[in-house]
Amino acid sequence: MSIEATEERHALGHRMKRKEDPRFLQGQGRYVDDIAMPGMLFAAIARSPYPHATIKNIDISEAMKVPGVKAVITGKDLEAAGLGWLPTFHGYDKQMVLAIGKVLFQYQEVAAVFAETRGAAEDGAEAVQVEYEPLPVVADPFTSRKDEVILRPDREQKTNHIYHWEVGDKDGTARALESSAKRVSQRIWFQRCHPAPLEPCGCVAHFDAMGRLQFYVTSQAPHVYRTALALVTGIPEDKIHVVSPDIGGGFGNKVPVYPGYVCAIVGALKLGRPVKWIETRTENLTSTGFARDYHMDVELGADRNGRLTALRVSTAADHGAFDAAADPTKYPAGMFGVVTGSYDIPVAHAEVDAYFTNKAPGGIAYRCSFRVTEASYAIERAMDVLADELGLDAVELRRRNFIKKEQFPYPSALGFTYDSGDYHQTLDKALEMIGYQDLLKEQAEKRARGELMGIGISTFTEVVGAGPSKHFDILGIKMFDSAEIRIHPTGAGFVRAGTKSQGQGHETTWAQIVAEELGLDPQTIMVEEGDTDTAPYGLGTYASRSTPVAGAAIAVAARRVREKARKIAAHLLEVGEADVEWKDYKFQVKGVPAKTVTMKEVAFAAYTNPGPNEPGLEATNYYDPPNMTFPYGTYIAVVDIDRETGEVKVRRFLAVDDCGTVINPLVVEGQIHGGLTEGFAIAFMQEIQYDRDGNNLNTNFTDYLVPTSLETPHWETGNTVTPSPHHPIGAKGVGESPNVGSPAAFVNAVVDALAPLGVRHIEMPVTREKVWRAIQGGNVA
């Protein structure tokens, strides 16, 4: 079943095919690595095999002898130029560009080599001789917090503890838990994983004849890059032009600024030639922004009727060598406060303590709003643990505790104001679509025969669309977004936005918003993003913020265009402006339906016959959202487990989403399919593992798995529509919901299948080995 198209609308709600797809499907996308410039050099980076070691000496002489090598730079060179360290995005820490004095994680950047060919650059990097003196390795946050080895002596505070963050009523929660009739607690680890976009990160840096930096880069936030580069390098911001061309997937991985980018710029400046740096798959997996790595102790209290009384979550976060988590400044643990989920919990407390370890830095939001997937997984897993304890059906427990639709706007115990929702309706629709009662019957029969069948449910709520300027900023820049619309004389036009599509379909959906608001053909609205010389300033695309923020900016800008157009329409219709109304996608004289002008006619007049009005038809808007949006859904997984091998087969998976107004059902379904596939990968396959010596064990696609069509289950989708009351078109954003909501559904299904064997929890990734051990009665948590 697919999301229904809304026929009565002009452009919104239509299953328009993606305008960008012909380009991508014919191999005509233009990515950073497609860029070639005369005289272009290539950069490669020498990396540390040691997770923690003092650098005793770096000898570049052999590297300089490699034919084609033009220069080698080290951390000391950068330090001398004042470029030794980069600020991390939320501004509380800094990160070495190239190692200075010591290395802190395996595959850390140590030297950059510039050469005529990529091969020569790689050979040069291999020839850089580094003498290391190994230091003790700290490979987990629990060892780190003992402070026996201080990893970051460069910091003022001589501790591995980065921050303590908490929200909620600590004492009240403790009292409520104490007096609850039922209490459950569960340690839940959301493993370290990696977004692994198929296109790795890269850039081309070039100083043009005017001395202006032309910087082509795989960035989800090109404007922020421009400002960050100006701040770090001292190059005036007008002398920096950042372009994000087509991007082959980002998922949060392309939000941070990486050392390779700085090295390429320095190389281009030093050598006076363009420099390209494209990382390898291994470099991407081992050194760029990872996700999750939250160890969460979750406690839920309930009364005898299964009504929740309190929630407490205490988390140890592994941030790696630098605190490079891409979170808004005031939210070091992101939106983790949404851990109360879809439930009316009277009192709650959440705290996060983050620690340095000898692992790659990061903590980016892998296809989710900041730390929302961790939060969602914690509460949805804990709800099943509680249902098990209460002997209550997991669906019934959720139903009893949902925030009711009349409670919206709902102030959560941890400080969010949920905008809208009808959780019962969405749940009921999902149960009906999947045939829940029949599945329960089938399961009972199979259990009687000793077969392992599981039904897993996840009724998640996200918080996306960062965000209101009073709360949200990155490097001090408020998290608004922007749009500029220009309508040409023939009624075609373009929209530019501060966002940057990495596969989300902005070229289609942005055009549909403009077309809807102005009664124009979406096929003739061109969308342009990613060029800081032309697009208005925006904070970029991540955390499901594009539609909630930039989508709103586009709608508001379009309405401004319409207001201007109304004046011209009044001139054309020879009536006063107050007598003109916008109806059925046309301007008409109030009460005279025969007297109309179309937007196309108005557009022509704007340049040929504007009357007393200023010529032209364009508008800009910078949109500061009044609140976040709260998409939600009910996901149901059905699994069968082979007792002999531990193999889990996902027989069915249904996602019923409510993302508010649906701009394009086809694009929404595509987003859901992609997100579910990534959620499936996280649940069953993906983990960046480190051994206790700090070796990264998942450095390529043989060891870090990305599902193909062979492994991927068939996805069933459905939807309900509860518009956001504060968004101009009622949209909430959807790209990340499936990745946020699905891991819990998968794991809940596996645990449900294994429940007759006494299994209460199993850690992701749920591999065959873990399931097999659980069946054998082994420890799998």
Binding site for other proteins (CB under 8 A): 47, 49-51, 106-107, 126, 132, 134, 282, 691, 693-700, 702-703
Name the minimum Å distance from CB 129 to other proteins. Answer: 8
Q: Which residue from 127, 93, 89 is spatially nearest to 111, judged by alpha carbons?
A: 127
Residues 6+ apart with CB under 8 A from 245: 30, 31, 32, 34, 35, 216, 530
If the CB atoms of residues 192 and 500 are measured against other proteins, the closer one turns out to be 192
Give the Cα separation of 523 and 654 in Å (integer): 32
Residues 6+ apart with CB under 8 A from 123: 66, 69, 115
At residue 231, the 3 state secondary structure works out as helix
CA distances to 575, 588, 590 from 578, in Å: 8, 11, 9
Name the minimum Å distance from CB 353 to other proteins. Answer: 29
Give the Cα separation of 320 and 722 in Å (integer): 40
Name the minimum Å distance from CB 60 to other proteins. Answer: 15
Name the minimum Å distance from CB 557 to other proteins. Answer: 49
If the CB atoms of residues 9 and 56 are measured against other proteins, the closer one turns out to be 56
Name the minimum Å distance from CB 276 to other proteins. Answer: 21
The 10 Å Cβ neighbour count of residue 72 is 25
If the CB atoms of residues 283 and 529 are measured against other proteins, the closer one turns out to be 283
Q: Which residue from 427, 350, 433 is spatially nearest to 394, judged by alpha carbons?
A: 427
| Cβ(198)–Cβ(365) below 8 Å | no
If the CB atoms of residues 271 and 685 are measured against other proteins, the closer one turns out to be 685
Catalytic annotation, pick one of 201, 203, 368, 659: 368
If the CB atoms of residues 139 and 162 are measured against other proteins, the closer one turns out to be 139
Name the minimum Å distance from CB 282 to other proteins. Answer: 7
If the CB atoms of residues 358 and 458 are measured against other proteins, the closer one turns out to be 358
220 is catalytic: yes
659 is catalytic: no
Q: Which residue from 714, 689, 7 is spatially nearest to 290, judged by alpha carbons?
A: 689
If the CB atoms of residues 54 and 776 are measured against other proteins, the closer one turns out to be 54
Three-point CA angle 190, 350, 371, nearest 5°: 40
If the CB atoms of residues 267 and 694 are measured against other proteins, the closer one turns out to be 694
CA distances to 261, 393, 440 from 325, in Å: 18, 38, 42
If the CB atoms of residues 283 and 669 are measured against other proteins, the closer one turns out to be 283
Q: Which residue from 643, 634, 739, 760 is spatially nearest to 683, judged by alpha carbons?
A: 739
Give the Cα separation of 227 and 626 in Å (integer): 25
Three-point CA angle 61, 64, 66, nearest 5°: 120
Looking only at the bridges linking them, the beta strands covering 525-529 and 493-497 are parallel
Torsion sign over Cα 603, 604, 610, 614: positive
Quote the distance between the C-alpha of residue 763 and its chain's center: 22
If the CB atoms of residues 44 and 558 are measured against other proteins, the closer one turns out to be 44
If the CB atoms of residues 222 and 320 are measured against other proteins, the closer one turns out to be 320
Name the minimum Å distance from CB 697 to other proteins. Answer: 5
Give the Cα separation of 325 and 123 in Å (integer): 32
| Cβ(692)–Cβ(137) below 8 Å | yes
User: Which pair of structure tokens corresponds to residue 662?
Assistant: 């649906």
Quote the distance between the C-alpha of residue 86 and its chain's center: 22
- What ranges in 583-686 are assigned the alpha helix state H? 599-608, 665-684
- Classify residue 191 by burial, with Cβ atoms within 10 Å: 0-12, 13-18, 19+: middle
Residue for token pair 């998640």: 460
Residues β-bridged to residue 493: 487, 525
Catalytic annotation, pick one of 47, 152, 312, 367: 367
| Cβ(66)–Cβ(115) below 8 Å | yes
Q: Which residue from 197, 352, 160 is spatially nearest to 288, judged by alpha carbons?
A: 197
Residues β-bridged to residue 166: 351
Name the minimum Å distance from CB 388 to other proteins. Answer: 37
Three-point CA angle 373, 679, 549, nearest 5°: 55
Name the minimum Å distance from CB 703 to other proteins. Answer: 7
Name the minimum Å distance from CB 498 to other proteins. Answer: 38
Residue for token pair 């390209």: 276
If the CB atoms of residues 51 and 197 are measured against other proteins, the closer one turns out to be 51
Give the Cα separation of 646 and 184 in Å (integer): 27
Name the minimum Å distance from CB 47 to other proteins. Answer: 6
Give the Cα separation of 712 and 103 in Å (integer): 39
| Cβ(254)–Cβ(220) below 8 Å | yes
If the CB atoms of residues 118 and 652 are measured against other proteins, the closer one turns out to be 118
| Cβ(348)–Cβ(340) below 8 Å | yes
| Cβ(627)–Cβ(419) below 8 Å | yes
368 is catalytic: yes
| Cβ(356)–Cβ(143) below 8 Å | no
Question: What does the DSSP 8-state code read for residue 463?
Answer: -
At residue 188, the 3 state secondary structure works out as strand
Catalytic annotation, pick one of 95, 106, 214, 220: 220
Name the minimum Å distance from CB 695 to other proteins. Answer: 5
Name the minimum Å distance from CB 322 to other proteins. Answer: 20
Catalytic (active-site) positions: 220, 367-368, 736
